[in-house]
Amino acid sequence: MLVDVTGTPDFTAKPKIELHVHLDCSLTRRALHRLGNPIGEADFARVYTAPERCSTLLAYLMAIEPSCAVLQTAGALRIAMEELMRALAGDGVIYAEIRFAPHTHQRQGLSLDEVMEAVTDGLTAGSNATGLHAGLILCALRDFAPAQNRPVIELAHRWQGRGVVGVDLAGDEATHAAAANRRIFDRAHDLGLPITVHAGEAAGPDSLSEVIELLRPARIGHGIRAIESEDILAEIKARNLHLEVCPSSNIQVGVFADYGDHPVDRLSRRGLSLSINTDARTVAPLTLSLEYRRLAKCFGWQTGEFLAHNLEAVRHAFLPEPDKADLSARLIEGWGAND
């Protein structure tokens, strides 16, 4: 067990924001059932989740592949998105930004626009069923050539306002520098697309520095290894960058040995703008409610910390200002009650 959360409060009903969750790491059992696979709980855990602590990155990546293999048809993408929306709503999430790399869902011949039609159909169906509002972030990948990533940026532009709210760079940070994709992200800036970039997880301050200078994101996925450099911490603050922190996910891939070693509490106390996110709801497996219990247990986080970081998430969400005001009010009301 990563953290024994016995005795911590149940945060399920508390309103929460999630800015960093991957569709292909969050395929639910209910979605598989709807797709005609009657898989039981034990087999689902064995096939679709990774060990709580992976001995190698390969073990983690192997756990994502079965989900990716399923998400190659329009029907699977639509249902997976709709069911993820139900899972998020059931976890108390009131606004989510869900990300995926469209060009990894083309193994059976879907065009990029067909991928988007399926995912946005699922988003609409999930939103109608739950009342949850969510946006999509399209991921370019470090391990793909810029020529393969460029169409993703153009796709995001075509679908902006029809579900898409921003773009991301994901993939293997340890072996692929961000510099190769600089021009792609220059184009994203020119198109007015909000940008977040995975960095500062598998690699340290040098990678963060590269990303901040070359890709100029508004937010950083993870970014936790900023704690290794006072210069980077100062740079992140000076540029008002927001860190999408995913503690359990970082432990799972071995960035830190134990939950108590994770720098999220130190980053919070240093005054950095950060949010708490799951990254991968199935591959973990994880909910935000469980992540909050772990933070409560390991670092003594209470309403003050949770509300503050949810409000920071709203402040840096890829949303119009009027929507932000409404979400902030709901957070303050929800966290203020019963405490």
> For Zn ion, which stretch binds (CB under 5 A), given 58-66, 189-197, 275-283, 306-314?
275-283
Q: Within positions 306 to 325, which residues make up the interface with Zn ion, using CB under 5 A? A: none
Q: Select which of 97, 117, 201, 305 is catalytic.
A: 201
Binding flag, residue 18, Zn ion (CB under 5 A) = no
Residue closer to Zn ion by CB (options 279, 305) is: 279
Residue closer to Zn ion by CB (options 61, 125) is: 61
In whole angstroms, what is the distance from residue 53 CA to residue 284 CA? 9
Residue closer to Zn ion by CB (options 95, 335) is: 95
Report in angstroms how near the CB of residue 68 gets to Zn ion at its nearest: 14
Residue 61's contacts (CB-CB under 8 Å, 6 or more residues apart) are: none
Residue closer to Zn ion by CB (options 120, 277) is: 277
Total residues binding Zn ion (CB under 5 A): 1
Name the residue with the smallest CB distance to Zn ion: 279
Residue from 279, 291, 305, 312 in contact with Zn ion (CB under 5 A): 279
Residue 320's contacts (CB-CB under 8 Å, 6 or more residues apart) are: none
Q: Output phi, psi for 250, to 5 deg.
A: -65, -35
> For Zn ion, which stretch binds (CB under 5 A), given 42-50, 65-73, 153-161, 271-279?
271-279
Q: What is the DSSP string of 101-115?
A: -GGGS-TT---HHHH
Question: Is 201 tagged catalytic?
Answer: yes
CB 70 within 8 A of CB 25: no
Residue length, the chain?
Answer: 339
Q: Where are the alpha helices (DSSP H) in the chain?
A: 29-34, 41-48, 57-70, 74-90, 112-130, 146-159, 182-190, 205-214, 230-238, 247-252, 264-269, 288-299, 303-315, 321-336
Q: Which residues bind Zn ion (CB under 5 A)?
A: 279
